């Protein structure tokens, strides 16, 4: 059983997963394209995706450094996006919707 399958099984049993679907931190604050793997797991596990906007963290922990600096970070927890009955064909749309919610800081649902 692969790692993604194991994580999906844990999610089905009620465990939460916190992940950053860009796969890296931004140097300029621009949000990159979200990788679909995490969203595929959510669809396979039939669990909602809860987008979280984090603004200002790039000034607190610069890309390429492990040291943190004092600063303010804003965190917005958005409404869950339901994946129940969603097919694998909709995974890219789910990733794009999640990215848009985070980028605009507007909740859906």
Residue 21: is its pLDDT beyond 60? Answer: yes
The pLDDT tens digits of the residues spanning 24-38 come to 877 787 888 999 988
The answer to whether the beta carbons of residues 47 and 69 sit under 8 Å apart is: no
Residue 98: is its pLDDT beyond 90? Answer: yes
Q: How far apart are CA 36 and CA 39, in angstroms?
A: 5
51 within domain boundaries: yes
109 within domain boundaries: no
Q: Which tops the pLDDT comparison, 62 or 80?
A: 80
Domain count, the chain: 1
Q: What is the DSSP string of 14-25?
A: T------TTSS-
Range of the domain at 90: 3-104
47 within domain boundaries: yes
Confidence of residue 1 (pLDDT cuts 50, 70, 90): confident
The pLDDT tens digits of the residues spanning 65-94 come to 888 899 998 899 999 999 999 999 999 999
Average pLDDT over residues 51-73: 87
Burial class (CB in 10 A: 0-12, 13-18, 19+), 95: buried
Tokens of 70: 């004092």
Confidence of residue 106 (pLDDT cuts 50, 70, 90): low
């Amino acid at each position: 059983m692969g790692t993604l399958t194991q994580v999906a099984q844990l999610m089905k049993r009620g465990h939460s997963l916190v992940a950053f679907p860009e796969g890296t931190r931004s140097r300029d604050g621009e949000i990159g394209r979200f990788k679909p793997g995490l969203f595929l797991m959510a669809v396979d596990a039939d669990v909602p995706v809860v987008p979280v906007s984090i603004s200002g963290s790039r000034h607190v922990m610069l890309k390429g450094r492990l040291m943190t600096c004092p600063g303010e970070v804003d965190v917005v927890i958005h409404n869950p996006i339901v994946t129940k009955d969603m097919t694998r064909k909709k995974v890219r749309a789910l990733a794009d919707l999640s990215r848009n919610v985070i980028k605009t800081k507007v909740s859906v649902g």
